[in-house]
């Protein structure tokens, strides 16, 4: 291939984006596993046992109603390559983020000038609000979901704009497949059909002026709807729940009350990302649905709708599309209908933030192309300096913010700096001290967290581990039982209690907890093996044999494979298994 100036000119923005993203996020490959990474990766047998692929598509045992199987698959593939070296997992996050940045660039090229498209992609790549999703391994669900989401949107746009029928059909089919992949990485991808509908209304050449025909877009939306319906049924079958958790009216009402504050807070974090934090508390006032709250919500909605309509009618369709993208993709995490007990998180903005970047990038790109700037050198230089300053500010904030996710100590200190009375901050500090072997300081931090928040999930579990290590078995049991009351779906809690009772010879109590662990995660091989031992102690060889055989299919340790095989032979040699 002969490289021409045109080829090099088209390639230059892409190469520049690649260099910038690796410069900004390259240092994260030296970071450790942080916070939920321990449960999601280090202690997760689904990730560390790639030979059992079917288990990766089951319910995640460590999180309530967590069903993101493609995230588990990506982590399992990382484990196969990197083992438990966190650098490889961080590198994968950076690569997925880079992929999303490039997809943003190519999507924008379909309705914006090249310079503006580059600015939008650069803003998206540099914005410091993304550090939680990119620099934290467990934030991969947002990065991977957005990657598939954007790829699906790009394929849809190319299929609509294409000329050859075969190519259009292929791209459209790929768009539907990528939409399904996006759903399997995070639930907030459900808004994709609305996004492609919005693009069609604003930018489709077949949908301009008097030629607007809904019958042209409806057939294109039907397959997306079928994909969404298939996902919901699949999720319902496996998780036994729809997208949203079962919640009472009070919980739903509280969610609606906080929606206004959440929308405004997210907007502020995008426009002025200064006081970022891993945890945000909803102010008490925002939970009161009074007259002024309703009035404020109404005014905000009127301003947003008015801005959208103005942009659409005045030819500034990018503004309307950016605003629509922000609002539509924010819906699943706006708490209008609560999906989680975490009301607000920076990683939730990873996908919606593109709407802000679209508007800002389009405005800046448009200003740079103004004819008046070409005639006024000082005005042109002022705008260029301002633009460079904004990019450098975002880059500096991102590099600085990345360090917060370096390890548990850095994250804990950052949280406690913002709120010295943060239970999560003290809990994470306790985890750090435990990793350093300082049980005394670790226990003190866990107790402080529980004093601030008695129903703090995780702190009782961590205390139970410490008490068990110190030989205080009674205290350990009490902490694990308290953890179950607060968070009744963590398989490790049941496994630890079952093991404690097994070691103390209380077979019946041990069986009760180990059975629950196996029920939550049928692939948890350690629970299967311990429960098999308990069944043998209870004189239930048939049950024990079935569990040993299941464990043999999952076990990877050669020593344990040999031991399990020996137990199976012994049990099969019992009279009831001898041929008659």
Per-residue pLDDT of 564-579, as tens digits, reads 888 888 877 776 554 4
Task: Name the helix (H) or strand (E) containing 168.
Answer: helix 165-183
Among positive and negative, which fits the CA dihedral 47, 51, 57, 63? negative
- Pick the more confident residue, 246 or 189: 189
For 291, counting Cβ atoms within 10 Å of its Cβ (0-12 exposed, 13-18 middle, 19+ buried), the class is exposed
Quick one: CA torsion of 99, 100, 103, 107, rounded to 10 degrees? 180
Q: How far apart are CA 479 and CA 485, in angstroms?
A: 10
Percent of the chain at pLDDT above 90?
A: 24
Within 225-327, strands assigned E span: none
Q: Which domain holds residue 446?
A: 407-489
Task: Name the helix (H) or strand (E) containing 560.
Answer: helix 558-572
Examine residue 57 and state whether it is found in any structural domain, yes or no.
yes
Residue 398 confidence class, pLDDT cut points 50, 70, 90:
very high
Is the pLDDT reported for residue 314 higher than 60? no
Q: For 99-145, how does the pLDDT look when each residue is reduced to its tens digit (9 = 90+)?
A: 999 999 999 998 888 888 999 999 999 999 999 999 999 889 999 99
- Pick the more confident residue, 267 or 28: 28
pLDDT score recorded for residue 422: 86
pLDDT score recorded for residue 99: 96
Residue 310 confidence class, pLDDT cut points 50, 70, 90:
low
Same domain, 192 and 308: yes
Examine residue 4 and state whether it is found in any structural domain, yes or no.
no
Angle between helices 192-203 and 317-330 (to 10 degrees): 170
pLDDT score recorded for residue 247: 46
Same domain, 156 and 171: yes
Q: For 131-142, how does the pLDDT look when each residue is reduced to its tens digit (9 = 90+)?
A: 999 999 988 999
Same domain, 517 and 475: no
pLDDT score recorded for residue 60: 59
Report CA-CA distances (Å) from 199 to 107, 138, 156, 175, 409: 11, 31, 10, 14, 44
Cβ(555)–Cβ(525) under 8 Å? yes
How close are the terminal C-alpha atoms of the chain, in Å? Answer: 76
Same domain, 432 and 286: no
Same domain, 354 and 459: no
Q: How far apart are CA 346 and CA 269, in angstroms?
A: 8
Q: For 355-387, how does the pLDDT look when each residue is reduced to its tens digit (9 = 90+)?
A: 999 998 988 877 666 655 566 666 667 777 888
pLDDT score recorded for residue 1: 42
Cβ(282)–Cβ(344) under 8 Å? yes
Q: Give alpha helix (H) positions in 26-49.
A: 37, 45-48
Cβ(495)–Cβ(524) under 8 Å? yes
Examine residue 309 and state whether it is found in any structural domain, yes or no.
yes
Same domain, 471 and 565: no
Examine residue 8 and state whether it is found in any structural domain, yes or no.
no
Quick one: CA torsion of 228, 301, 125, 40, rounded to 10 degrees? -50
Q: Which of 489, 513, 532 is the last residue of a domain?
A: 489
Rg (CA), the chain: 27
Q: For 43-63, how does the pLDDT look when each residue is reduced to its tens digit (9 = 90+)?
A: 777 777 655 555 556 665 555
Cβ(123)–Cβ(394) under 8 Å? yes
Q: Which of 462, 489, 516 is the last residue of a domain?
A: 489
Q: For 417-475, how does the pLDDT look when each residue is reduced to its tens digit (9 = 90+)?
A: 878 888 888 988 888 888 888 888 998 999 999 988 888 878 899 889 888 888 888 88
pLDDT score recorded for residue 580: 44
Is the pLDDT reported for residue 549 higher than 90? no
What is the pTM for the complete model shown? 0.82
- Interval 290-317 mean pLDDT: 60
Residue 396 confidence class, pLDDT cut points 50, 70, 90:
very high
CATH number at residue 534: 1.25.40.10
Same domain, 550 and 449: no
- State the DSSP string of 312-340: HHTT-HHHHHHHHHHHHHHGGGSSSS--S
Is the pLDDT reported for residue 210 higher than 50? no
Q: Give alpha helix (H) positions in 109-164.
A: 114-126, 131-135, 140-161
Examine residue 289 and state whether it is found in any structural domain, yes or no.
yes
- Pick the more confident residue, 307 or 518: 518
Quick one: CA torsion of 387, 388, 394, 399, rounded to 10 degrees? 170
Q: Which of 432, 459, 489 is the last residue of a domain?
A: 489
Report CA-CA distances (Å) from 68 to 47, 97, 239, 241, 491: 13, 18, 11, 14, 18
Same domain, 265 and 219: yes
Reference 97, options 119, 130, 68; nearest CA is 130
Same domain, 417 and 375: no
Same domain, 439 and 374: no
Helix/strand/coil percentages in the chain, nearest 5: 75, 0, 25
Residue 250 confidence class, pLDDT cut points 50, 70, 90:
very low
Structure tokens at 234: 């699949």
pLDDT score recorded for residue 180: 94
Average pLDDT, the chain: 81
> Could you give the 3-state DSSP secondary structure of residue 57?
helix
Examine residue 22 and state whether it is found in any structural domain, yes or no.
yes
In Å, how far from its chain's centre is CA 110? 28
Report CA-CA distances (Å) from 327 to 198, 275, 334, 338, 424: 12, 23, 9, 16, 30
Number of folded domains in the chain?
Answer: 3
Same domain, 456 and 533: no
Same domain, 163 and 201: yes
Q: How far apart are CA 154 and CA 175, in angstroms?
A: 8
Reference 47, options 61, 35, 29, 34; nearest CA is 61
Q: How far apart are CA 430 and CA 408, in angstroms?
A: 9
Examine residue 12 and state whether it is found in any structural domain, yes or no.
no
- Interval 472-489 mean pLDDT: 87
């Amino acid at each position: 291939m002969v490289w021409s100036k045109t080829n090099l000119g088209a390639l230059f923005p892409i190469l520049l984006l690649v260099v910038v993203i690796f410069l900004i996020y390259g240092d994260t490959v030296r970071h450790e596993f942080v916070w939920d990474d321990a449960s999601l990766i280090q202690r997760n047998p689904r990730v560390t046992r790639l030979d059992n692929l079917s288990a990766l598509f089951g319910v995640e045992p460590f999180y309530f109603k967590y069903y993101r199987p493609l995230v588990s698959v990506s982590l399992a593939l990382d484990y196969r390559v990197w083992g438990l070296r966190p650098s490889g997992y961080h590198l994968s996050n950076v690569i997925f983020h880079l992929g999303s940045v490039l997809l943003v660039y190519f999507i924008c090229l379909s309705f914006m000038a090249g310079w503006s498209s580059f600015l939008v992609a650069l803003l998206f790549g540099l914005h410091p609000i993304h550090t939680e999703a990119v620099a934290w391994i467990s934030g991969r669900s947002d990065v991977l979901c957005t990657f598939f989401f954007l790829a699906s949107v790009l394929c849809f746009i190319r299929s609509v704009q294409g000329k050859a029928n075969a190519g259009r059909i292929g791209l459209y089919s790929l768009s539907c497949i990528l939409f399904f992949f996006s759903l399997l990485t995070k639930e907030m991808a459900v808004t994709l059909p609305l996004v492609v509908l919005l693009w069609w209304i604003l930018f489709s050449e077949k949908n301009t002026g008097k030629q607007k025909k809904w019958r042209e877009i409806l057939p294109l939306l039907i397959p997306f709807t079928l994909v969404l319906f298939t996902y919901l049924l699949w999720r319902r079958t496996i998780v036994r729940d729809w997208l949203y958790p079962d919640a009472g009216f009070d919980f739903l009402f509280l969610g609606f009350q906080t929606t206004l504050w959440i929308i405004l807070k997210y907007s502020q974090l995008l426009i002025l990302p200064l006081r970022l934090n891993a945890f945000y508390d909803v102010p008490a006032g925002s939970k009161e649905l009074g007259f002024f709250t309703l009035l404020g919500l109404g005014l905000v909605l009127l301003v947003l709708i008015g801005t959208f309509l103005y942009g659409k009618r005045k030819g500034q369709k990018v503004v309307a599309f950016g605003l629509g993208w922000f609002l539509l993709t924010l819906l699943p995490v706006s708490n209008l209908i609560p999906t989680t007990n975490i009301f607000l998180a920076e990683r939730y903005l990873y996908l919606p933030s593109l709407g802000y970047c679209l508007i800002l990038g389009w405005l800046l790109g448009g200003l740079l192309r103004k004819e008046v700037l070409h005639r006024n050198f000082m005005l042109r230089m002022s705008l260029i300096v301002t633009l460079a300053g904004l990019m450098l500010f975002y880059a500096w904030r991102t590099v600085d913010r990345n360090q917060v996710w370096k390890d548990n100590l850095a994250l804990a200190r950052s949280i406690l700096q913002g709120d010295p009375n943060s239970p999560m901050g003290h809990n994470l500090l306790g985890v750090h001290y435990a990793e350093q072997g300082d049980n005394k300081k670790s226990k003190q931090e866990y107790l402080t967290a529980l004093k601030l928040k008695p129903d703090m999930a995780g702190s009782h579990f961590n205390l139970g581990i410490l008490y068990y290590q110190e030989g205080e078995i009674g205290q350990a049991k009490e902490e694990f039982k308290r953890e179950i009351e607060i968070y009744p779906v963590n398989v490790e809690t049941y496994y630890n209690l079952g093991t404690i009772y097994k070691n103390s010879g209380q077979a019946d109590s041990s069986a009760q907890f180990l059975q629950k662990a196996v029920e939550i995660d049928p692939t948890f091989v350690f629970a299967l093996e311990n429960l098999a031992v308990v069944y043998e102690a209870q004189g239930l060889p048939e049950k024990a044999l079935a569990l040993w055989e299941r464990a043999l299919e999952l076990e990877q340790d050669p020593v344990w494979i040999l031991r399990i095989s020996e137990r199976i032979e012994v049990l099969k040699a019992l009279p009831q298994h001898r041929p008659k």
